[in-house]
Amino acid sequence: MKEAKLGRVIRMEIIDAVTPDPEEVFGLIVRTEAHRKVVWTAGRVLREAALWGRVEELDYEERKIVLKRITGFLGDLAARGVLHRRGEPQSIGYGDEAGFDYVAGPAIRY
């Protein structure tokens, strides 16, 4: 499906293809944190999932959608007690983003 925005076509099928599912994000965090501590941002998720290059090929508006979706997934994990949101924006991945720390909280299921 395509949405017109500001005279451009937002390619939702491409956005969906490069956005990892919430369970993929959670699995990535758990696997990575088993080896090293990471400050999680949407950009960091994309880099760790080897999707950064594909996202950089998207238009600005499309990249914003992907980053907002992943930030939403991270916020959901924080609400469940798995991540803790940092108070200050982090500039680790894609500009200033919300940062989260893994706190090995309660087991969750998707």
pLDDT of residue 27: 95
Q: What is the pLDDT of residues 10-32, one digit of tens each?
A: 789 999 999 999 999 999 999 99
CB 81 within 8 A of CB 105: yes
φ, ψ of residue 65 to 5 degrees: the values are -65, -45
Yes or no: say if 55 and 72 are a contact pair by the CB < 8 Å rule. Answer: no
What is the pTM (predicted TM-score) of this model?
0.82
Structure tokens at 38: 């990471």
- The stretches in the chain having pLDDT less than 70 are 1-8, 92-95, 105-110
Q: What percent of the chain has pLDDT over 70?
A: 84
pLDDT for res 90: 72
CB 39 within 8 A of CB 99: yes
